[in-house]
Structure 1
Amino acid sequence: MGVVADAGQSFRQIRSSVGDVTSQIEEVSASVQEVTTGAEQVVHHMGEITRMVEETASGTQAVSSAAEEQLASMQEIRASSEALSEMAEELQRLIVKFKVQR
Structure 2
Amino acid sequence: MIIKVSGDILLTSAQAIAHAVAPADHFENGLALALREQWPAMVRDFRHYCHQNHAKPGEVWMWGGPEGKVVVSLMVQEPVEGPHSHGVHPGPATLSYVNHALKALRHLI
TM-score range (shorter-chain normalised) is under 0.3
TM-score normalised to the size of structure 2? 0.15
Using CA pairs below 8 Å that are at least 6 residues apart, which structure has the higher relative contact order? 2
Task: Report the structure, 1 or 2, having the larger strand content.
Answer: 2
- The structure with the greater share of residues assigned to helix is 1
Q: TM-score scaled to structure 1, two decimals?
A: 0.16
Which structure: larger Rg? 1
